[in-house]
A and B are shown apart, each in its own frame.
Chain A
Amino acid sequence: MMTLINGKRLEINSDETDLNLLDFLRERLDLTGAKNGCGIGVCGACTILVEDEPKRACLMKVQDIIGQKVLTIEGMASPDGSLHPLQQAFVDAGAIQCGFCTPGMVLTAHALLLKNPQPTRGQIREALKGNLCRCTGYQQIVDAVITASKHYI
C-alpha cells in the first residue's frame, strides 16, 4: 500500500492503516506543520490537501490516503527552501501572527487558487471560512491570497 506525500512515495504498513492520520503525520513522519487545535474538524489547523482538496487530517485514518496524493505544508516550498509565491505573499502581507493556523490557511488558499486563480475577496473568505484564526481578523490573509493569485493564472 502506497501513498504519495509531498512528492515522495511512502509505503503504508498494514498495522498503520487504522491510525489517526494527524497523529501519523505528526508522530511517525514528523510532519508537525499540521496542528491539532480542536481534534473534531472545526478549526482547520490540521488541514492537508488530498488530491488538491483541503481535508481535516484529525478526522481521517491513514487508510484514507492510500493511493492518494497528499500535500502538507512541508511540501509547499521548493526543495532548495525557497518559498512558494503563496507563502511569500503570506509573509509580505503580514498575514502571520502566532502562526498556528498558518499551515492550514496556506493549504486551503492553495487549493482555492488551483481551482479559481482569480477569486474575489468574498470568494476567498468563503473558501477560508473553515479555518479559524484568532490573531489576524483574516484581513491580511485575504490580502495575501489576492496578491498570490497572479502566480496561479
Chain B
Amino acid sequence: MANSETPRPAWRNDAYAKVTGKAKYADDIKVLNCLHAVPVYSDYVSARIISIETADAQKQPGVVRVLTHKDVPGNLQYGQIIRDYAIFAHDKIRTSGDVIAVIVAESRQQAMDAIPFVKLVAQELPAVLDAEEALMEGAPLVHESHGSNLANYHCVRTGDVEAGEREAEVILEQEFTTSRIEHAYLEPESALCVLRQDGVMEVCGSMQHPFSTRRFVASTLGKSLADVEVKTVPMGGGFGGKDDTAAIVCARTALAAQLTGRPVRMTYTREWSMRESYKRHPYKISYRMGLKKDGKITFVKVRIVADGGAYCSVTPWVTWRSTVQCCGPYIVPHVHCDVYGVYTNNIYCGAMRGFGSPQVNFAIEQLIEMAAEKLGMDEIELRRRNMVRQGSVTITGQKLDDHTVSLEQVLDTVLKESGYTEKKQRCSHGKPGDEEWYGIGLALSYRGMSLGAEGTDFNSAIINIQPDGSILLETGVHENGQGSESAMILLCAEHLGVSKDRIRYRQPSTSNIPDGGTTVASRGTIMGGGAVVNAARQLKEHMARILAPDLQCSPEDIIFEDETLCKKDKTRILSFSEAISLMYARQEYPYSFGVFQAPRVSWDEHTGQGKAYFTWVYGCQAVELKVNPHTGKITLLNMYAAHDVGKAVNPALLKGQFYGGMAMGAGYGMLEKCDVSDGRVVPTNLHQYKILRATDLPEMTAIIVENPDPASPSGAKGIGEPTNELMAPAIANAVFHATGIRCPDQPVKVSNNGK
C-alpha cells in the first residue's frame, strides 16, 4: 500500500561526525612521516611506448622514488572481468588517462613539481575513437591480444521476430543516443597506505568497494588477500564510480608504501579524477518495434552499441542489464536483441548508478510514447495494455509470480499525486505565439534487483553482543553515504527487539568479515539487511534455547521485544541485559554469523533466456516543466516519484535516495555530457562539467510504496538505482508534450532539434 507516514526525524549513525566536520575522510587522516604520491600521464591517446625515463625526476628536490611498470612485483595487469588494465602503462598508451609513472616525494608540492621531468619516448599510433568504427574490419586494435575490439556481446532471442513483423500493423524505427557522463562525486579519489609491522598492507581510501580494492592491491603487490587489509573511512560520494579507478589509486599508493617502507598518501586533484576515472557508457540504440492497432506490442528488434573505452571494467555486466531490460517493463512476445560492448581509445566506462538501465530507459520510454502517438492512443493506456502484471512473463522467459508486481500501482500513484491526466490537457505542444511552453511527462521501469545472473551474490553479518549488553554489528556492506550502516543498525534493533542505541556499527575491515561482494546494484539493504535479519534469527534461537529454563517455557514461546525476552503470556520476563549476563554465566556467547544467499537465478548466454533476477522493483517518475520557445531553456517545476521498496527501513534516508536519484536523473536528462575530443576528456573540472545546482531543481515529491518481498528476509528491496533511471525519459516526454519536439539524443536540448 502507498505510505504517506508522518515525518519523523531522520536518523543516521554518522550524522554527528559529518555535520560537525569531525568525520575523517581519507585525505583528512594524518599520519607521521607520510610521503605523498602523484600520477604522471602522457600526452598521447594511442602510442607505442619506447621508454619511460625517470632519472631526471628522481633527482628533483624531495623526490624519494619514481615508480613505473618495472617496479610492480605482482601482476601488472588487472581487471574485474578481463585483465586488460595496466596498473602502470608499459607497452602501449591506450587512452589519455593512462598513468606511466607515480612520483613519491616528501611533500605533495615537490611530487607535483617533478612531474614534467618524467620523459616518455613513444611512437604515436592510430586511435579508434568511435565504437561502430572499432567494430569494422581493419580497425586499429586497442588490445591486440584480445583479437578484436569487441569486449563482449549479449543477446535475447524470444519467440520469432519475423512472425512479430507479420502480425504488426504499425512499425516504428528510431535511433537514440546517450552520452558519456561523469559521476561527479564531490570527493576526488584518495588513498592512504601503511605497511604494518606484521607485513600487512593497510589501506584506507575513498573507494566504495573494500573487497574489490583488496583484490587490486593484492594482485599488484603479489600479496595474498590475507596480507592486505582495507579499512573503511567516510567516502565523499561514489555512485558506482569509486570502484576500478579508486582501487587502482589504492594499489599504486600501496606499491609506493611497500617500496619506500613509509606511509604514503595519494589524493587526486579534480583534474586528474576527471581525466582518469571511468564514466557512464555512451550508447547508440536502434529500435524497430511493431504493434497491433489495439496497442499490443508484437515485436521489438534492438541493437545496442556501448562505447566501453580503452578497458573492459564491468562493461559486460552493465550491458547485460541493458540486454535484460531492453524492452522496458513491457510484455513483448518476439524479441531480437543484440548488444555490443566495444573497446575504443576513449576514456573507459564502467559502473554508474543505474548500470545500463538509464540508457535503455531513455530510449524505450520515449519509444512507447512515439508508438502511442502513431496509433493515436493515450500514452498511459498504451502502457497499461503492455505492462507486466502479476504472473506476466518477461522477455527473457522469467515468470513474475513470486513477489508483488506493482508496476500499475506505482503508475497510478504518480498519476494521482501529480495530477497527470488533468495537467496533460494543459500541455502546450509547441503552440505558436505562446511565451512559455508547459509540459508534463513520466516514465516507468522495472528493475532486476541486486546482481542477478551477473555473479555470485551473498552477504554476511556478525552480531557480537558484549557482556554489558552493548552490541557490535558488522556486515559486508559498505557505507557509500546512502546510510547503509544506519539501515543495518535499525534492522538489527528491530529483529532483536532492542533499542538502536545499544548497537555500534563496527568499523568494517576486509580482515574481519567475509567478502560480501561490492555495495553496488542497489543490493546493500536487501543483501546486507538479509544477512542481519538471518544473524538476528540465529542469535534469538540460540538465546531462547539457553534461556528457556529461566523463562519456564519452551524456546519457541520466547518473544524478543522492548528490550526484554518474555514468555508469550508475559508471565515471565527477563530484561535484555539480564539475559546477556545469563548467557555469559552459562559460558554461551551471544554471537552470531548470519548469511543471506540470493535465491537462484539463471541465464543462457546463447538465447538470452533465464530467470535473470530473483526479484524486481517497480517505479514511476513524473516531471512538470516549462520551455522557453525563444531560447529552448528548460525549467523544471515539479518532480514526483513512486517506488516500491518492499519495506521502508529508514524512511527519511530512503526519501533522500529518491530526491538524490531524481536530481541526478534530471541532470542526465537535460544537462550532463562529458565530451571527449580526439580521445581526450574535454571538461577538466566542475566549472566545465556542470551538475544541477539548488536553483536548477524544483521541489520534489517522494512516495514510498511498500509490498514486502518474500525473497528478502527483511522484506526490503533496493532503491539507490531505481530512483536514478527514470527522470531523463520523463523529461524527454515532458519536453515533447511542451514543444512537440522529440529528443532522441540525451541530454535533451530543444534548440538543437529545431522545428
Chain A contact residues, CB within 8 Å of chain B: 26, 30-40, 42-43, 45, 72-74, 76-77, 81, 83, 87, 90-103, 106, 121, 124-126, 128-142
Contacts and interface: CB of A to CB of B under 8 A. Distances in A.
Q: Which 10 A-B pairs have the closest CB atoms?
A: A33-B21, A98-B481, A137-B663, A100-B236, A99-B18, A94-B10, A73-B21, A94-B652, A137-B659, A32-B28
Contacts of A33: 20-22
Given A35-B25, A93-B10, A126 B19 contact: no
B670 to A, nearest CB: 14
B694 A37 contact: no
B699 A77 contact: no
B481 A135 contact: yes
Contacts of B183: 134
6 contacts: A32-B21, A77-B20, A91-B19, A99-B23, A138-B694, A139-B659
Contacts of A93: 10, 652
Contacts of B18: 96, 99, 102
Given A26-B28, A36-B27, A132-B693, A91 B184 contact: no
A120 to B, nearest CB: 12
Given A132-B691, A134-B664, A139-B700, A87 B20 contact: yes
Interface in B673-715: 685-687, 691, 693-695, 697, 699-700
Contacts of A137: 659-664, 697, 700
Given A97-B482, A98-B187, A129 B21 contact: no
B722 interface: no
Interface residues of B, number: 57
Contacts of B270: 37-40
A78 B71 CA distance: 50
B15 A91 contact: yes
A125 B481 contact: no
A134 B690 CA distance: 11
B166 interface: no
B234 A37 contact: no
Nearest to A126: B695
A90 B187 contact: no
Contacts of B576: none
A134 B239 contact: yes
A76 B21 CA distance: 9
A83 B20 contact: yes
B309 interface: no
A103 B187 CA distance: 13
A138 B21 contact: no
Contact of B16 (A34, A91, A128, A132): A91
Task: Give the interface centre of A33, A42, A132, A137 by most chain B CB atoms within 10 Å.
Answer: A137
Contacts of A133: 186, 694
A67 B689 CA distance: 37
A76 B9 contact: no
B390 interface: no
Contacts of B687: 38, 40, 42
Given A32-B28, A74-B20, A37 B481 contact: no
A131 B23 CA distance: 19
A125 B694 contact: yes
Given A94-B653, A134-B239, 8 more contacts: A32-B24, A35-B186, A37-B188, A91-B16, A92-B9, A100-B237, A128-B693, A134-B183
A94 B186 contact: no
B295 interface: no
Nearest to A88: B19
B693 A129 contact: yes
A124 to B, nearest CB: 8
Contact of B695 (A40, A94, A125, A141): A125
Nearest to A90: B19
A59 to B, nearest CB: 12
B185 A134 contact: yes
A104 B695 CA distance: 17
Interface in B1-44: 9-10, 12, 14-25, 27-28, 30
A42 B700 CA distance: 25
B480 interface: yes
Nearest to A131: B694
A136 B186 contact: no
A74 B21 contact: yes
B655 interface: yes
Contacts of B188: 36-37
